[in-house]
Amino acid sequence: MERNNRSLDLGSVIVGVDGSEPARWAALWASDEAARRRRALHIVYGSDVDGRVLELSDDDMERVRVAGRELPEATAEAVRARHPALSVTTEFSRSGPAMSLRRAASGRGTLVVGSRGPGGFGSSALGSVGLEVAADARTPVIVVRGSEDEAVHGVVLAAARDERDLDCVRHAAREAELRKASLRLLYVQGVLRSVGSAAGAADGQKRAADHRGQSLRAVAERIRGEYPSLTVQADLDRSVSVAGVLVEASRHADLLVMGGRRSSGRLGRTLGHVTHSLLHHAHCPVELIPRHADEQRSEAS
């Protein structure tokens, strides 16, 4: 039976705060996202008090608890000023930030984190909390890159190549629909760096590119059928740097949506080398959609 993707529910939005400017912007961005979805926003401060109980004095513990309650409430006030009708809840957690966020999502919501932090939210420069959340993602994770004064481009960019990316592309299509934006599908074929057996390699890559082009166009046609009001563009590019092309394309997008890793990399169950690079260098927020475990196993075999 054909699934009714018009009812695709992107779920509630959970954002982590830590007192940093990137986290404040991430919370405001998350409030816009929750308002578009017409879902609640949940603001979480993960203090990691339990993990630091032996190194903190009683006075330190009390200061952490006070800050951990005041910061989410102050953020909630700013969000309510921006979206008065939005349902906003807050949480002070004694657990570490990544664990707090995953628990708050309950396997259903979308997690939002800033790109960097000062230390209050588990020293959350991307590479610690942000990477920890993204690397072990079981629900969608958005790393909010860019800044408040970024221009709106009216484009959602999805990194895709074939029908195995349909769930990711459908998610991107729904994001584009909510933004009244267009959807651009982009597949970047990696070009061999070695010049050995160049002729045979070039022929093989051309055949692969033709096949991938057909597959990508088929995905685009499928999405056009499911989202008839959506403008869908499908592009194929070739480069020695897949991540580099996607980073450049992100300059002209409001959101980049990617599936979890395909290869058997060791950066985490969700992160591969390309996704890792995009989370660090993209010019717009990056949404990572975890792939099902059985899909990852079949692709690695």
> 53-80 pLDDT, tens per residue?
667 788 877 787 787 789 999 999 999 9
Please give the structure tokens belonging to residue 97.
Answer: 């930030």
- 298 burial via Cβ count (<10 Å: 0-12, 13-18, 19+): exposed
pLDDT digits (tens, 9 = 90+) for 242-273: 999 999 999 999 999 999 754 444 455 556 78
Residues pairing with 88 in the sheet: 41
Q: What is the pTM of this model?
A: 0.84
Distance CA 259, CA 160 (A): 8
What's residue 67's pLDDT? Answer: 79
In the chain, DSSP assigns E strands to 13-16, 41-46, 88-93, 110-114, 141-144, 155-159, 182-190, 232-239, 255-259, 286-289
